[in-house]
Amino acid sequence: MSQKGANTERELFHMFWKNNWACMRAAGSGNTTMPAPDLIAGNKNNLLAIECKSTKKTSIYLKKQEIEQLTNFSNILNATSILAMRFNNNGWYFLNIEKLPKNKKGNYTITLKLCKEQGINFQELIGKYKQLKL
């Protein structure tokens, strides 16, 4: 993982703790071939498996396999799979991975526009989770 990627994860990690959610960062994925999210976060009512991405651009590309690994992990654990997107100067957006639009080959292009339309913000994620778009 790039230093920037690690910093993005850490930022989100501390956001959860500051709001009385527990959060754990995964050990570097180089150590294992088993699927793992970047973060697990939760409280008594919610368990989220989170893939964390940041970009200076207005979109990112995600491979089918990356998303499948996360959803496999979440299915076993009964967790909700969340994509946490951080756009430079546009803050955080959170999306339910099950509802992301696929392209023809099953991969994903996640745009800032999509995030603005379908994403929720952090306060919504932790406080109003069940009421919203997710």
Q: State the residues that interact with a second copy by CB under 8 A.
A: 10, 13-14, 17, 20-28, 31-32, 34, 36-37, 40, 42-44, 47, 73, 76-78
With b meaning 16 or more CB within 10 Å and e meaning fewer, what string describes 24-33? ebeeeeeeee
Look-up: residue for tokens 């989220």? 48
Q: How far is the CB of 4 from a second copy (least distance, A)?
A: 15
Q: How far is the CB of 114 from a second copy (least distance, A)?
A: 28
Facing residues of 19 across strands?
none
Nearer to a second copy, 26 or 112 (CB): 26
Closer of 10 and 64 to a second copy (Cβ): 10
- Choose between 2 and 89: whose C-beta lies nearer to a second copy: 2
* Of 40, 41, 38, nearest in space to 1 by CA: 38
DSSP-derived secondary structure letter, 39 = E
Catalytic annotation, residues: 29
Residue with tokens 């099953």: 106
Q: How far is the CB of 107 from a second copy (least distance, A)?
A: 24
